[in-house]
Copies of this chain bind each other. A is one copy, B any other.
Amino acid sequence: MFRSHNCGELRIKDLDTQVTLCGWVHHIRDLGKLLFIDLRDRYGTTQIYFDSNNKPQLYQIAKNLGREYVIQIEGIVRERSNKNPKMPTGDIEIDVDRLTVLNKSKIPPFTIEDDTDGGEELRMQYRYLDLRRNVMKETMIFRHELNLSIRNFLSEKSFLEIETPFLIKSTPEGARDFIVPSRLNPGNFYALPQSPQLLKQLLMFAGMDRYFQIVRCFRDEDFRADRQPEFTQLDCEMSFVEREDILDLFEDMMRYLFNKLLNIDLPTFPRLTYQKAMETYGSDKPDLRFDMPIIDITDKLKGHGFKFFDDSEYIGGLLLINKPSVSRKYIDKLTEWVKSPQIGSTGMAYIRYLDGELKASISRFFSNEDLQKIMNSLKAGNNDILFIISGNKEKSLNILGNLRLKLANDYQLIQKNTFKPLWVIEFPMFEWDDENQRYTASHHPFTSPLNEDIELLDTNPAIARSNAYDMVINGVEVGGGSIRIHDKNLQKKIFKLLNLTNQEAEDKFGFFLKALDFGAPPHGGIAFGIDRILTVMLGLNSIRDVIAFPKNNMGRDLMMQAPAPISEEQLKELHIKII
């Protein structure tokens, strides 16, 4: 028995108790006669002290302790004269009688504080020290509680967590697979799952009815900011359901989680079609924490003789309300920004009321009266400014979506600590891949079209809508899913539309097509990004902050130094060679 109590539990009721505590030396304050230490473990911090008058020898030993030493102390719980109401243990302190150094510590390369002086690279290199910081520890506890709450919620709803294999067959579609050479089957390779999509569908064929799994998934993508080659997914599938069954159940789940873990009651999730989301917010994952919808002003601005507008398929605007501080300089910068390659606009116009006066970048082409009419029709008031983007409709909406977020950021339109969830539904079935001149699946090739759009597969697949849906919170797509195809002929038709030959479909998905022959039930599902849910719930910026041992943007684990070279012997056994 190393300890009688942890460092977070002693209270005034424990006065005069003899206790044994273990923990890390967090702070040392040597007042000459008294030496105070904040002793820290996972459960909290307890002040302990060494009295040089009563125990001069012990005091001398304590003087040699350093930050992050691991110690065990025995002592008596005393009432503090200087109580600290911010600490749960702040009413008491320990008068130490015995001290054992369990392990020494070198001086940590950064401070073990919420606001640490350690840069991210250093923190990842010494992740075991980084995780000692309270904020990281609390995140790990929150993650544990989230996962456990999900498991208990879904189990209550008759879901079974079923473990699917990690060493599966490579069926790259979309992202690249990580692959694993098989030593015992030379020239053959396993793949790590990008998701257990086909396996969970097979579990539905197997009659499991309701499946979930909190499971690691792998995508060998070109690394970019805030992507991880491995990430955790809450993967779910249900049989004999329609879209509404799934949306209702998982909306309930999310409401339960927010209530239980954050004490926040989420509102009913509005449902937006993809089309409506794009037209209103220029995004299929709109951030509803602020208003400022995109306004279609095509009809209002066309036909005034301004060729640039007249030639545009679409003209859209964003009305920034009551911001007299918007300067000419800011507008110029913003115009440059929308014209940058990553945004890709050809330009931007504006109309504004500033201090009661109408100003517009397009005043050469429009009469003051016309401009006023436009502004009035939008109910624009003094110090409001209308930013205008025109051109191809899809592209313009995209630009307006980006512009909307930028304006919200620049003018702090986003309320902190609010959560605005919604469902986006009725996604397009396909996206056209210009480079390879073929359709790709917007969701994945196993997604069912909307019943009413099945005929469009033959006549005009480009406008066919799928029975897919995303859950979006605060502009983050936290989950997505679809009703799946359970009809073999429809599945084959989709493969064909995706340009897979019969042979390719057979090679990649033969086992799955075969399974569709033996009584596959109607089914659908959804998958959530656990890392993303956590960043949204905790208001964090990076998924690296919710993962115990994350990789950097190059896919490297800086602590272990992985990936790394392996021995020639290992390579030879695997029947491979580096080229």
Interface residues of A (CB under 8 A from B): 1-3, 6, 22, 24, 40-43, 68-70, 72, 102-106, 108, 126-132, 137, 140-141, 143-144, 147-148, 151-152, 155, 160-170, 172, 176-192, 199, 202-203, 205-210, 216, 218, 220, 222-223, 229-230, 232, 239-242, 245, 486-487, 511, 515, 517-522, 547-549, 551, 554-557, 559-566, 570, 572-579
Contacts and interface: CB of A to CB of B under 8 A. Distances in A.
Contacts of A185: 554-556, 563
Contacts of A242: 1-2
A577 B486 CA distance: 39
Contacts of A169: 557, 560-564
A74 to B, nearest CB: 14
10 contacts: A2-B522, A106-B518, A127-B206, A129-B518, A169-B562, A170-B562, A179-B180, A184-B554, A185-B554, A185-B563
Most buried by B among A108, A207, A556: A207
Contact of A22 (B141, B147, B511, B521): B521
B42 A207 contact: yes
A577 B575 CA distance: 8
Most buried by B among A229, A245, A560: A560
Most buried by B among A222, A232, A574: A574
Given A42-B208, A170-B566, A555-B185, A141 B160 contact: yes
As for how many copies of this chain the complex holds, the number is 2
Contact of A564 (B151, B189, B486, B557): B189
Nearest to A223: B184
Given A148-B155, A180-B179, A208-B131, A140 B162 contact: yes
B555 A182 contact: yes
Most buried by B among A163, A188, A515, A576: A163
Contacts of A22: 239-240, 521
